[in-house]
Chain A
Amino acid sequence: MSVDELITTPLYDLHVESGGKMVPFAGYSMPVQYPLGIMKEHLHTREKAGLFDVSHMGQCYIRSTDGSDPAKVIEELMPSALAVLKPGKMRYSLLLNDAGGIEDDLMVTRTFEPEGTLYVVVNAACKEKDYAILEEKLGGRITLEPLEDRALIALQGPKAEAVLSALAPEVADLSFMEATMVTLEGVVCWVSRSGYTGEDGYEISVPADEADAFARRLLMNDDVELIGLGARDSLRLEAGLCLSGHDFNAVTSPVEAGITFALGKKRREIGDFSGAERILSELENGAANIRVGIVPAGRAPAREGVEIADSEGNVIGKITSGGFGPTFGGPVAMGFVPAAFAENGTEIQLMIRGKAYLARVAATPFVPQRYKRKQA
């Protein structure tokens, strides 16, 4: 795809004006970094608040065609407890294929519409595929309405609550994985307390023609900096969160990928979702290969594709995402190894440019997650 054909988001002018280094990403022209640089952008997000343009992600409404609960219908392809979602509650879930492989991960939120309409956010690179799968498998029973006229802005970091609640005090009352409709600067927005950095924060769905002014309003606060895709990836990696298409793909099961928290308890008992046979069997007996956290002993970053070897040098797996963790203060990675090598502390070797580097299997997240969960 040539640069001319790249799609721009409603914040494109702001990115360019702010010195964003624009790169092609999932068919969009997106900022990989701003003049601050990836390292400082990353650290700023963990210390204060970062503003991310995630408008390239797929936002859609899902409704049922016969007045039944749309969540009950999509549960056939997703293993999480979605039908039980009350208005304003959201869950992380997985779009599964018949073989129990993960086509994509996504966020499902119950809106306040009386029909139980769902607001769903999927990955940019997968949205056409995801929409096609949902249409093909569930087409007669649900309608899927892509929200092309909305931008999506993430505000992440310990100052996010102070920044956003200055415009709308009620967002402070949201707990992690809750969402509500809020009027921000006169604009009706859908705000969720969620994100993918491991920090507390919000994702704000804004009408496209209001997004630029709204982002500039947030940036007037000295605690807020624009953050590009580079730091978004290092923040995600340190938080131990999977990147769709990299840390799992259509042949990887939730058990292999270590995302069993997305499997609802009752859903597991009943097994009423795509690929349940394989997934339940792996839950029972374990999977042959599983995703683990990896901390290299030295300073050399191990990136996606690096081979993992045992101490004798036999190749046993591959790194699926990795790089330098600015808050961790060294390289971190994730990859797949046989179950026998998955225990924390297991010594492995990473084959970087033909040389073996010592590393250890380690727990994730590499940096503690700081979500604002509901007090029990």
Chain B
Amino acid sequence: MTKFTEDHEWIDGDGDVVTVGITDYAQNALGDVVFVELPDVGGTFSKGDEVAVVESVKAASEVYAPLDGEIVEINDALEGEPGLVNSSPTEGGWFFRIKLDNTSDLDGLMDKAAYDAHVAGLD
């Protein structure tokens, strides 16, 4: 089941390793993505830490760790093709996989209905 943060990240997966990316709303707001700085595999992060940076033509934006955990894989395809974040934000444009310290942390995140309502409230 996919979960969401207020910072427009999606978190997908059922076990203790989940995939993280940014939502369609986020990629649309950022505009054309030209560079993504991803964390090192093996790096550990706490919820709210700056874990990645997305650079659009316009500006650089930080991506924060949605939960506590260790990075186990990053999407190397973004190095050569950062535009995947725009063209396929929830599939080919994923950022990293993180092994959660506590899978129960997922319960505190929004589900799709709650996130959609959150986004609707922003416009």
Closest B residue, CB atoms, query A330: B34
A82 contacts partner chain B, Cβ-Cβ < 8 Å: no
- The contact of A299 among B34, B56, B59, B60, by CB within 8 Å, is B34
Give 1 or 0 for each of B37-50: 1 = CB within 8 Å of chain A CB.
Answer: 10000000000000
A289 contacts partner chain B, Cβ-Cβ < 8 Å: no
Most buried by B among A32, A300, A303: A300
- The contact of B34 among A33, A40, A230, A301, by CB within 8 Å, is A301
Task: Determine whether the beta carbon of A33 is less than 8 Å from that of B58.
Answer: yes
Please give the distance in Å from B34's CB to the nearest CB on chain A.
4
Task: Determine whether the beta carbon of B82 is less than 8 Å from that of A38.
Answer: no
Task: Determine whether the beta carbon of B32 is less than 8 Å from that of A39.
Answer: yes
Task: Determine whether the beta carbon of A299 is less than 8 Å from that of B82.
Answer: yes
A27 contacts partner chain B, Cβ-Cβ < 8 Å: no
In the assembled complex, the Cα of A38 lies from the Cα of B60 at a distance in Å of: 14
Residues of the A chain whose Cβ atoms lie less than 8 Å from the Cβ of B79: 299
Residues of the A chain whose Cβ atoms lie less than 8 Å from the Cβ of B53: 353
A87 contacts partner chain B, Cβ-Cβ < 8 Å: no
In the assembled complex, the Cα of A198 lies from the Cα of B68 at a distance in Å of: 48
B92 contacts partner chain A, Cβ-Cβ < 8 Å: no
In the assembled complex, the Cα of A174 lies from the Cα of B60 at a distance in Å of: 41
A245 contacts partner chain B, Cβ-Cβ < 8 Å: no
In the assembled complex, the Cα of A16 lies from the Cα of B12 at a distance in Å of: 37
Task: Determine whether the beta carbon of B37 is less than 8 Å from that of A353.
Answer: yes
Interface residues on B, range: 10 to 19
A324 contacts partner chain B, Cβ-Cβ < 8 Å: yes
Residues of the A chain whose Cβ atoms lie less than 8 Å from the Cβ of B32: 37-40, 326
Task: Determine whether the beta carbon of B60 is less than 8 Å from that of A324.
Answer: no
A264 contacts partner chain B, Cβ-Cβ < 8 Å: no
Residues of the A chain whose Cβ atoms lie less than 8 Å from the Cβ of B55: 300-301, 324
With A33-B31, A37-B32, A39-B31 known as contacts, the answer to whether A300 contacts B37 (CB < 8 A) is yes
B35 contacts partner chain A, Cβ-Cβ < 8 Å: yes
A331 contacts partner chain B, Cβ-Cβ < 8 Å: yes
In the assembled complex, the Cα of A37 lies from the Cα of B28 at a distance in Å of: 10
Task: Determine whether the beta carbon of A38 is less than 8 Å from that of B37.
Answer: no
In the assembled complex, the Cα of A234 lies from the Cα of B57 at a distance in Å of: 8
Task: Determine whether the beta carbon of B82 is less than 8 Å from that of A326.
Answer: no
In the assembled complex, the Cα of A326 lies from the Cα of B31 at a distance in Å of: 13
In the assembled complex, the Cα of A32 lies from the Cα of B59 at a distance in Å of: 12
Please give the distance in Å from A157's CB to the nearest CB on chain B.
18
In the assembled complex, the Cα of A287 lies from the Cα of B98 at a distance in Å of: 51
Please give the distance in Å from A251's CB to the nearest CB on chain B.
27
In the assembled complex, the Cα of A234 lies from the Cα of B59 at a distance in Å of: 12
With A230-B57, A301-B60 known as contacts, the answer to whether A324 contacts B34 (CB < 8 A) is yes
In the assembled complex, the Cα of A299 lies from the Cα of B35 at a distance in Å of: 6
A146 contacts partner chain B, Cβ-Cβ < 8 Å: no
A323 contacts partner chain B, Cβ-Cβ < 8 Å: yes
In the assembled complex, the Cα of A120 lies from the Cα of B106 at a distance in Å of: 61
Residues of the B chain whose Cβ atoms lie less than 8 Å from the Cβ of A32: 58
Please give the distance in Å from A150's CB to the nearest CB on chain B.
30
Please give the distance in Å from B61's CB to the nearest CB on chain A.
12
Q: Which of A151-175 contact B (CB under 8 A)?
A: none
Residues of the A chain whose Cβ atoms lie less than 8 Å from the Cβ of B34: 299, 301, 324, 331
Give 1 or 0 for each of A39-53: 1 = CB within 8 Å of chain B CB.
Answer: 110100000000000
In the assembled complex, the Cα of A148 lies from the Cα of B32 at a distance in Å of: 36
With A37-B31, A39-B31 known as contacts, the answer to whether A324 contacts B37 (CB < 8 A) is no
Give 1 or 0 for each of B55-71: 1 = CB within 8 Å of chain A CB.
Answer: 11111100000000000
In the assembled complex, the Cα of A38 lies from the Cα of B86 at a distance in Å of: 13
Residues of the A chain whose Cβ atoms lie less than 8 Å from the Cβ of B57: 37-39, 42, 230, 234, 323-324, 326
Please give the distance in Å from B85's CB to the nearest CB on chain A.
13
Please give the distance in Å from B76's CB to the nearest CB on chain A.
13
In the assembled complex, the Cα of A331 lies from the Cα of B59 at a distance in Å of: 12
Most buried by A among B31, B35, B58, B59: B58
In the assembled complex, the Cα of A39 lies from the Cα of B31 at a distance in Å of: 8
- Closest 8 interchain pairs by CB? A39-B32, A324-B34, A38-B57, A299-B35, A324-B57, A300-B35, A301-B55, A37-B31
Chain B positions within 8 Å of A, measured between CB atoms, are 31-32, 34-35, 37, 53, 55-60, 79, 82
